[in-house]
Chain A
Amino acid sequence: MSVDKQTVAKIASLARIKMGDEELERMVPELNGILNWVEQLGEVDVEGVEPMSAVIPNTLRLRDDVVDADPKTGGGKRDEVLANAPAAEHGFFGVPKVIE
Chain B
Amino acid sequence: MTDLTNLGVKAIRDGVAGGDFTAREVAESFNAAVASAAELNAFIVTTPDHALAAADAVDAKRAKGEDLGAMGGVPIGMKDLFASHGVQTTAASHILEGFKPEYESTVSQNLWNAGAGMLGKLNLDQFAMGSSNETSYFGNVASPWRKEGSNAAMSPGGSSGGSSSAVAARIAPAATGTDTGGSIRQPAAFTGICGIKPTYGRCSRWGVVAFASSLDQAGPMARSVEDCAIMLGAMAGFDPKDATSLKMDVPDWEAALNADLKGKKVGIPKEYRMDGTDEAILASWEQGKAWLKDAGAEIVDVSLPHTKYALPAYYIIAPAEASSNLARYDGVRYGLRDLPEGAGLQDMYAATRAEGFGDEVKRRILIGTYVLSAGFYDAYYNQAQKVRALVARDFEQAWGECDLILAPTTPTASFPLGSLNEDPLTMYLNDVFAVPASLAGLPAMSVPAGLNPDGLPLGLQLVGKPFDEQTVLDAGLAIQQRSGFEQAPEKWW
In the complex, the answer to whether A70 meets B425 with C-beta atoms within 8 Å is no
Cβ-defined partner of A31 (8 Å) among B349, B351, B363? B363
CB distance from A31 to the nearest CB of B (A): 6
Q: Is A49 an interface residue (CB 8 A)?
A: yes
Q: Which of B331, B343, B350 has the most CB of A within 10 A?
A: B350
Assess whether A93 is in contact with B332, with CB atoms less than 8 Å apart. Answer: yes
B262 at interface by CB-CB < 8 Å: no
Would B315 and A34 count as touching, CB distance under 8 A? yes
What are the interface flags for A5-49 relative to B under an 8 Å C-beta threshold, 1 for contact and 0 otherwise? 001100111111111000000010011011101111111101001
- Bound-state CA distance A98–B347 (Å) is 11
With a CB–CB cut-off of 8 A, which chain A residues contact B247?
61
Which chain A residue has the least Cβ–Cβ distance from B342? A96
| A73–B206 CA distance with the chains assembled, in angstroms | 10
Smallest distance from the beta carbon of B201 to chain A beta carbons, Å? 5
CB pair B390 A84 closer than 8 Å = no
A58 near B244: Cβ-Cβ < 8 Å: yes
Among B100, B215, B370, B440, chain A packs the most CB atoms within 10 A around the CB of B370
Task: Given A17-B354, A77-B102, A85-B332, decide whether A38 and B380 contact each other with a Cβ distance below 8 A.
Answer: yes
Q: B446-469, CB under 8 A of A: which get 1 and which 0? A: 000000000000000000001000
Is B316 touching A38 in the complex (CB atoms < 8 A)? yes
Q: Does residue B103 face the partner (Cβ distance < 8 Å to A)? A: yes
Neighbouring B residues of A81 by C-beta, 8 Å: 102, 333
Instruction: Find chain A residues with CB under 8 A from B339 CB.
Output: 96
CA distance A77 to B357 in the complex (A): 28
Q: Of A8, A16, A42, A63, which contacts B240 at CB under 8 A?
A: A63
Cβ of A58: which chain B residues have Cβ within 8 Å of it? 201, 244, 246
Is B151 part of the contact surface with A, judged by Cβ < 8 Å? no
Chain B, Cβ-Cβ closest to A73: B241
Interface size class of B (residues with CB under 8 A): 35 or more
Docked-complex contact B380 and A33, CB < 8 angstroms: no
Bound-complex Cα distance A53 to B201 (A):
14
Which of B243, B346, B354 is close to A60, meaning CB atoms less than 8 Å apart? B243
CB distance from A26 to the nearest CB of B (A): 9
Contact in complex: B312, A40 (CB < 8 Å): yes
B11 interface residue, CB < 8 Å from A? Answer: no
User: In the bound complex, what is the Cα–Cα distance between A55 and B425 (angstroms)?
Assistant: 25
Provide the bound-state CA to CA distance between A51 and B346, in Å: 34
- B86 CB → nearest A CB, Å: 10
The residue of chain A having its C-beta at the shortest distance from the C-beta of B363 within the complex is A30
Looking at B219-227, B291-299, B381-389, the stretch in contact with chain A turns out to be: B381-389
Q: Is the CB of A93 within 8 A of B333?
A: yes
Q: Are A15 and B366 in contact (CB under 8 A)?
A: yes
**Residue ID in chain B nearest A50 by CB atoms:** B389
Given A15-B366, A34-B425, A84-B100, answer yes or no on A42-B385 (Cβ-Cβ < 8 Å). Answer: no
Task: Tell me, yes or no, whether A90 is within 8 Å of chain B by CB.
Answer: no
A11 to B385, CA, bound (A): 22
Q: Does B489 contact A (CB under 8 A)?
A: no
Interface string of B366-380 (1 = CB under 8 A from A): 110111010010011
Distance to closest chain A CB from B470 (angstroms): 16
- Contact A72/B103 with A49-B390, A51-B382, A52-B389 known, Cβ cut-off 8 Å: yes
A24 to nearest B CB, angstroms? 10
Q: Are A46 and B387 in contact (CB under 8 A)?
A: yes
- The residue of chain A having its C-beta at the shortest distance from the C-beta of B330 within the complex is A16
Write the chain B residue with the least CB distance to A13.
Answer: B350
Of the candidates A11, A15, A43, the one having the most CB atoms from chain B within 10 angstroms of its own CB is A15
* Residues of A with C-beta under 8 A to B345: 95-96, 98
Chain A residues whose CB sits within 8 angstroms of the CB of B135 once the complex forms: none
Contact check, A72 vs B389: say whether CB atoms are below 8 A apart. Answer: no
- Inter-chain contacts of A31 with B (CB < 8 A): 363, 366-367, 370
B246, B350, B376: the one contacting A16 at CB < 8 Å is: B350
Smallest CB separation, B217 vs chain A (Å): 10
Q: A11-B369, A13-B350, A30-B424 are in contact. Are A41 and B337 (CB under 8 A)?
A: no
Query: How many Å lie between the Cα of A61 and that of B79 in the bound state?
Result: 29
Which 4 pairs of residues, A with B, have the shortest CB-CB distance?
A51-B385, A55-B441, A84-B334, A80-B102
Q: For the A-B complex with A15-B369, A55-B440, A61-B243 known, give 11 more contacts whose Cβ atoms are closer than 8 Å.
A: A19-B362, A31-B366, A42-B379, A51-B389, A52-B386, A55-B200, A55-B244, A86-B331, A86-B332, A93-B333, A96-B347
Which A residues lie at the B interface, using CB under 8 A? 1, 3, 7-8, 11-19, 27, 30-31, 33-35, 37-44, 46, 49-53, 55-56, 58, 60-61, 63, 70, 72-73, 77, 80-81, 83-87, 93, 95-99
